[in-house]
Amino acid sequence: MIYPITVYGDPVLRKITTDIERDHEGLEELINDMFETMYNADGVGLAGPQIGLTKRVFVVDLSPLGEEDPLLRDFKKAFINARIIEKSGEEELMEEGCLSIPGIHEKVYRKNHIRIQYFDENWNENDEEYTGYPARVLQHEYDHLDGVMFVDHCTPLKRRLLKGKLTDISKGKTNATYRIKIPKA
């Protein structure tokens, strides 16, 4: 099932999410639906709040980049109850976009190395470290679990310049190629 994607201005994107319970009903289906929704929108990552779910879950698929970077060849993962326990390395400036902010791409700074602990869809516990692009994507998705969006990392000046476009998005004025859920006025 493909969910409509929540967009900037929807309060659900500003909520702090809660852990998924072990007996969460339909978890496998939820994960499959999140991947399907993400692929349909040509995204590389999708977090719970983006389908209106205030739970600590996100999915990421970087495997299409496996040709450039063999480490990413099998990188199709669900992250349940993730905790980033360390951010380190250099502050790196890289362009980001977000399915919940269609049409806007901006460069933001993030640390280029992280350590993350999480459960996969089979409740196997993982403790992994990432550098560079995967660290970037995981921090972006992880932010969604805490109600943070990538434009929050832009400078105040940049945010002021984006304000009009963000307001348009919150009113449903976007040219997104996928179905969105327009926030209530």
* Least distance in angstroms from the C-beta of 123 to Zn ion: 25
Q: What is the C-alpha separation between 50 and 27, in angstroms, rounded?
A: 16
Integer-rounded Cα Rg, in Å, for the chain is 16
| Site residues (CB under 5 A) for Zn ion, limited to 138-157 | none
70: helix, strand or coil: helix
* Least distance in angstroms from the C-beta of 25 to Zn ion: 26
Catalytic pick among 90, 92, 125, 141:
141
* 68 catalytically annotated: no
110: phi then psi, degrees, rounded to nearest 5: -145, 155
Find the binder of Zn ion among 98, 135, 138, 180 (CB under 5 A).
Answer: 98
* Site size with Zn ion, rule: CB under 5 A: 1
Contact code string over 42-81 relative to Zn ion, x by CB under 5 A: ----------------------------------------
Q: What is the dihedral of CA 120, 141, 27, 78, to 10 degrees?
A: -30
* Least distance in angstroms from the C-beta of 137 to Zn ion: 9
Stretch that binds Zn ion, among 1-9, 55-63, 96-104, 111-119 (CB under 5 A): 96-104
Cβ atoms 113, 87 nearer than 8 A: yes
Quick one: residue 61, left, alpha or beta (phi over 0 = left, psi -120 to 50 = alpha)? beta
The contact set with Zn ion (CB under 5 A) reads 98
Looking at the annotation, which residues are catalytic? 141
